[in-house]
Amino acid sequence: MNFFISASLAFFVLSIYTAHYIVELHKTTKDSAERDFVSKTSLYVSIEEEEDVSYSPLQQDYYRDSCPSAERIIRKALKEIYKARPSIAPSLIRLLFHDCFIETSSEKEAPPNLSLKGLDVIAFIKSELENTCPGVVSCADTLALATKEAVSLAGGPKYSLRIGRKDSLVTFKDIAQRELPSPHATLSEILARFASRGFSPQETVSLLGAHSIGITHCTFFQDRLYNFSGTGKPDPELNTGFLQELKSKCPFSASASSPSPCPDTASAPSLPASDYHTNYGVMFSDQQLMASEETETWVRAYASDPLLFQRDFIKSMVKLSSYHVLTGPLGQVRTNCSKVLPLN
């Protein structure tokens, strides 16, 4: 059983709910959010103006000669998919995070990745690219560009992205299991994990805003409802009313880890677009952002200034998608994203 957080109406909403207060902003609909995000030219986020890219192996026009229609193919395919399946936006954001955090695109069988969705969409888009430009566009670039489009379709800012990534030559299943952050992690563990990838506490807070939308499995937070820290009791930080609502969605039973969607989502919190840190924080790791003065400061800063959050989120997303990328002979262009090509 899953707990439905939100899909098409929510974007950039990380909820920090404590026993004492809720940080909350104004609520908007997806349509008004799109106007807020897209109609203002200042919200087209350009990262290049703040970075020295003269020596970067990634370039915005990387496929100009080899596959000039690549981005158009990705954009068209994703628009059609999004119409029927708006939940693909959070799925791709999460998929990109898992892909980049362990420096490869091949760990879908590692336990933290077993609940990932969107792999079928990337496979479909990749097949469309292969029909036009066989063996040219990497799976890594396909995912990065598809996620960029998903962010925009979900009401987020448009942004530019440099491309030219290659796919890994090997898989890192054990690394994926060991290095991906846990939803049960403490704040110190979260910050240490992100710091090892070069992300500051501020960037970590902004990236965790991606937890605003999508579906999360009950198993990821069931301990907060029934046996927090081995006490046999709920997490005392959970609001009583919210606790009861979560329990109704995730009853204590063997079925709680089922991958099927929750059958009744009508009473689930509806999280509005363009807000940040509002309403409810389901996973323990998200609520931990209020556990230190530094991260709490950024929670409140983003809550009071959505435009600041939007800009910082995109900057962190671009940084994440460029983390330890493989280029040139260090990688390959897979024809099937789930299979490493044989080495010559």
The binding site for heme b comprises 211
Helix H, strand E, coil C: the string for the chain is: CEEEEECCCCECCCCCECCCCECCCCCCCHHHHHHHHHCCHHHCECCHHHCCCCCCCCECCCCCCCCCCHHHHHHHHHHHHHHHCCCHHHHHHHHHHHHHHCCCCCCCCCHHHCCCCCHHHHHHHHHHHHHHCCCCCCHHHHHHHHHHHHHHHCCCCCECCCECCEECCCCCHHHHHHHCCCCCCCHHHHHHHHHCCCCCHHHHHHHHHHHHCEEEEHHHCHHHHHCHHHCCCCCCCCCHHHHHHHHHHCCCCHHHHCCCCCCCCCCCCCCCECCCCCCCCCCHHHHHHHCCHHHHHHHHHHHHCHHHHHHHHHHHHHHHHCCCCECHHHCECCCCCCCCCCCC
d(CA 317, CA 100) in angstroms, rounded, equals: 10
Question: Residues at the annotated binding site?
Answer: 99, 107, 181, 211, 264
Rounded (10°) CA dihedral 75, 80, 83, 85: -90
List binding-site positions for substrate: 181
Residue 98 designated active-site? yes
Catalytic residue among 98, 184, 217, 324: 98
- The Cα–Cα gap between 126 and 337 comes to 8
Cα gap 31→154, rounded to integer Å: 10
Cα–Cα distance for residue pair 122/124, rounded to 1 Å = 5
Residues annotated within the binding site for Ca(2+) are 99, 107, 264
What residues are annotated to the active site?
A: 98
